[in-house]
């Protein structure tokens, strides 16, 4: 089975449950709102108790699963491994929170860090990306991870035929009713449409089954055999709603980032079009590359699949802008280089001793170079050829003069 992790307080997996049915504490504040020392202390104390309780619950499930036949073990092991990874991620984040809290020494910066650690993405710490078998990698906040772990733990306890801290059916019914109420609270967060309708219908069925189960228990009937499937379905629905909420939040965050990137690329495109115009005015022949219009991609979509496809097209636009920027900037840089060579030639003309018979030729070459560099746009290739011809002529005529003097 999965090795059971240790908590930072040093207690082992054999810790016993002292708070049956304990659920994750409510997190103070919200993202971006500093958490004051008093609220932080209350939350951290409750969270440490909850982390210890959940560790004991999962250890109990782990011990029971070891006694099951191999086929039954395999069916539970994956979910238990997922629950342990969420538990470890929460415990790691709690250590960071306690370190930041530092016994109550909380200034303005620490209060902001506490808010970020509580309500920011949990997958940004050393635990890596969290994932569920049905959803893949999942970025959730600490409160969302705690609720998911509550749901996973209840599912595992039911599948392993364990009551959360006690075997009495009345307590299991109470916990199941609490789970249904949490699901009911989450329904308004689901966007109106088929998804909300399906969740509402499933909740109504679970509610009716719980009512029937309560009536059976009041009549003295044995309900132990039918409460476990209900517990599993309630916990699964709650988990699915939490996961869907996290995925919607991730999609909204990605869409916001994409909108910002569209604006950035649009600003870059405008600057590159100005660079293109400057290049066309300054040099000939000038490169001709299309500068893409990012708005031609249309509005930024909201759906995850459409958004991913849009971001892929946006990457292609970005690469096209990079190429246009590099090409036009290189053309202007070549213009500056040629102009600089022409200026250097003028400065060196008076310092070079040239035989009498070559002076008229060089004067004509320099006049052509001066005329070329005065043109707008600058004929880069022709000017570079004239500069090369001038240098070659100077080299040839000065070598010839040196040879003549040496022959004498």
pLDDT score at 318: 95
What residue ranges in 311-391 does DSSP mark as E strands?
A: 378-379
Which of residues 221 and 332 earns the better pLDDT score?
332
Confidence of residue 167 (pLDDT cuts 50, 70, 90): very low
How far is the C-alpha of 3 from the C-alpha of 152, rounded, in Å?
18
How far is the C-alpha of 180 from the C-alpha of 9, rounded, in Å?
33
Residue 24 has pLDDT above 70, yes or no: yes
Confidence of residue 350 (pLDDT cuts 50, 70, 90): low
Exposure string (b/e) for 344-381, b if CB count within 10 Å is 16 or more?
ebeeeeeeeebeeebeeebeebbeebeebbeeeebbbe
Q: What is the longest distance spanned by two Cα atoms in the chain?
A: 134
DSSP for 139-154, please give it: --BHHHHHHHHHHHHH
Angle of the 224-282 helix axis to the 142-159 helix axis, nearest 10: 150
Q: Give the C-alpha distances (Å, rounded to integers) separating 116 from 32, 111, 119.
A: 7, 9, 5
300-319 pLDDT, tens digit each: 998 888 999 999 999 999 99
Lowest mean pLDDT among 24-28, 110-114, 222-226, 370-374: 222-226
Query: Of all residues in the chain, what percent carry a pLDDT higher than 70?
Result: 83
* Ranges of each domain in the chain: 37-255, 352-407
92-149 pLDDT, tens digit each: 999 999 999 988 888 999 999 999 999 888 764 444 456 665 555 567 889 988 988 9
Confidence of residue 258 (pLDDT cuts 50, 70, 90): very high
DSSP 3-state assignment of 321?
helix
pLDDT score at 205: 94
How many other C-beta atoms lie within 10 A of the C-beta of residue 237? 21
- Total residue length of the chain: 408
pLDDT score at 163: 42
- Name residue 131's beta-bridge partners: 137
How far is the C-alpha of 239 from the C-alpha of 146, rounded, in Å?
11
pLDDT score at 403: 57
Pairing of strands 283-284, 378-379: parallel
Most confident of 25-39, 247-261, 318-332: 318-332
The pLDDT of 312-338, averaged and rounded, is: 94
The pLDDT of 400-407, averaged and rounded, is: 54
pLDDT score at 125: 45
Report whether 52 contacts 11 (CB < 8 A).
yes
pLDDT score at 135: 52
216-226 pLDDT, tens digit each: 776 666 677 78
């Amino acid at each position: 089975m999965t090795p059971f992790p240790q908590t930072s307080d040093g207690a082992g997996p054999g810790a016993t449950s002292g708070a049956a049915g304990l659920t994750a504490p409510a997190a103070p504040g919200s993202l971006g709102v500093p958490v004051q020392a008093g609220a932080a202390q209350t939350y951290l104390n409750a969270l440490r108790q909850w982390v210890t309780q959940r560790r004991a619950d999962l250890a109990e499930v782990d011990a029971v699963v070891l006694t099951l036949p191999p086929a039954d073990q395999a069916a539970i092991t994956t979910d238990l491994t997922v629950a342990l990874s969420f538990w470890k991620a929460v415990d790691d984040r709690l250590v960071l929170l306690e370190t930041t809290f530092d016994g109550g020494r909380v200034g303005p910066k620490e209060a902001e860090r506490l808010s970020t650690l509580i309500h920011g993405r949990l997958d940004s710490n050393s635990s890596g990306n969290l994932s569920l078998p049905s959803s893949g990698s999942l970025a959730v906040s600490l409160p969302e991870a705690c609720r998911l772990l509550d749901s996973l733990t209840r599912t595992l306890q039911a599948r392993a035929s364990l009551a959360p801290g006690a075997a009495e059916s009345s307590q299991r019914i109470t916990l199941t009713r609490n789970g249904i109420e949490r699901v009911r609270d989450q329904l308004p967060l689901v966007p109106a449409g088929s998804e909300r309708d399906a969740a509402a219908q499933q909740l109504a069925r679970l509610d009716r089954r719980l009512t029937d189960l309560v009536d059976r228990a009041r009549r003295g009937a044995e309900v132990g055999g039918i409460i476990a499937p209900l517990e599993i379905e309630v916990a699964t629905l709650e988990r699915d709603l939490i996961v869907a909420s996290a995925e919607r939040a991730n999609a909204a965050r990605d869409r916001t980032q994409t909108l910002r990137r569209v604006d950035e690329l649009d600003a870059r495109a405008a600057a590159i079009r100005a660079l293109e115009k400057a290049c066309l005015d300054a040099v000939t022949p000038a490169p001709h590359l299309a500068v893409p219009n990012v708005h031609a991609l249309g509005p930024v979509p909201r759906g995850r699949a459409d958004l991913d496809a849009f971001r892929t097209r946006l990457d292609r636009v970005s690469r096209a802008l990079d190429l246009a920027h590099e090409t036009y900037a290189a053309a202007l840089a070549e213009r500056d280089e040629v102009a600089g060579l022409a200026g250097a030639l003028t400065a060196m003309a008076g310092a070079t001793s040239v035989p009498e018979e070559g002076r008229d030729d060089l004067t004509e070459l320099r006049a052509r170079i001066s005329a070329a560099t005065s043109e707008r746009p600058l004929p880069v290739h022709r000017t570079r050829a004239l500069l090369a011809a001038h240098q070659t002529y100077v080299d040839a005529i000065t070598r010839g003069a040196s040879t003549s003097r040496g022959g004498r």
